[in-house]
Structure 1
Amino acid sequence: MANPPSSHYPDIGELGEDLVAQWLHSQGWKILHRRFYSPWGEIDIIAQFPEQHLLVNSLPQVAFVEVKTRSQGNWDAGGKGAITRQKQVKIGRTARMFLAQYPEKADYLCRFDVAIVYCKQRLKQHPALKCTPEPLATLSADEYQFYLQEYLPAAFDSCIDE
């Protein structure tokens, strides 16, 4: 049997981002943008913690979230190995472009988060994947199961001046 065309397969990265966006929303975050592009790259998710949930006299927060979706047993530590210094610089520059386009958010506290999502193709003859530790959230889509395994707030500092 021939393989179906690649358009038949789900966009694994997009589905991983969907899971993270849903989880952030459930945690009280407002999703401002998905896949924000600049000449330097893209930011998967840009989210704001609503002002009504903040403590008195604290600034609103904006999180620039890099989502890494991988199958278990991959070569780059679940995607953490792909967040190189060069990638951090690109994300920082793209964040600067976002803040230039939305100057009302320029004084917000900004942080750079990383979300690690594992995916596994669900096969009828195999039981569901057991994750340890317990995932923060899960999503089933097509024949895949997604697990938000780690969410690393402020995973790295802005490197935009390099």
Structure 2
Amino acid sequence: MKYLNSGQLGEDLVAQWLQSTGWIILHRRFSSRWGEIDIIAQYDQGVGEVGEQGGNFSVSTQHSMLAFVEVKTRSSGSWDAGGRSAITPQKQAKIWRTAGMFLAQYPEKADYSCRFDVAIVYCQKISKNLTVVTATQEALATSSAAGYKLKLQEYILAAFDSSIDNG
């Protein structure tokens, strides 16, 4: 339960941070037979012209970007470098295949630019008796919920190569 709770809280923090920077959250925990993607977000960079075609108005989406985000929530001093070493080539392949399933399910987004990001969130259980003051690296975002303090410590853009062999 602790693992699920802190993982969900980490995903919540990243989703809120993405929204605060202009991203639209399309899906949380998108699942396919290949695996799960924690967050799928869309960013529209200066949406192009609005034009009329055959009596219908259309908006250019050529500047839209999709981010498939893997969130790793860990306590400080975790064994796997804050979750970085948990993103193995096998995990990347699962995310890549699941992203392909998403794009097949939503073909209108198939022409968008796509990238695979990783968010590193540090999680610390809040102790009622905690009086120690520590210096820490500046976080991109922080929150406290359900007895935990969370910090979005690092957001890695295009964290792994999207040309993974699907074979």
Fold agreement, TM-score > 0.5: yes
Alignment of 1:1-162 (within 5 A): 6=1, 11-52=5-46, 59-127=63-131, 130=134, 132-158=136-162, 159-162=164-167
Moved over 6 A (4+): none
1:10–1:142 CA contact under 8 A, matched in 2? no
Describe the shift of the 1:129–1:104 C-alpha distance in structure 2 as closer, same or farther (beyond 3 A).
farther
Displacement of 1:133 in angstroms is 2.0
Displacement of 1:53 in angstroms is 6.0
Describe the shift of the 1:9–1:66 C-alpha distance in structure 2 as closer, same or farther (beyond 3 A).
closer
Counterpart residue type for residue 43 of structure 2:
F
Displacement of 1:139 in angstroms is 1.0
Q: Kindly, what percent of the aligned residue pairs are identical?
A: 63
> Structure 1-normalised TM-score?
0.88
1:92–1:160 CA contact under 8 A, matched in 2? no
| Higher CA-based Rg | 2
Give a deviation string over 1:112-162, Cα, whole Å, max 9, x none: 000000000011221477463200001111111000000001001222524
Pairs aligned (count): 155
Give a deviation string over 1:46-99, Cα, whole Å, max 9, x none: 000024468x99531000000000000000000000000000000000000000
Output the CA distance in 1 between the equivalents of 2:155 and 2:22: 15
> Structure 2-normalised TM-score?
0.85
**Structure 1, unpaired ranges of 5+:** 1-5
Greater mean alpha carbon deviation, residues 132-141 or residues 25-34: 132-141
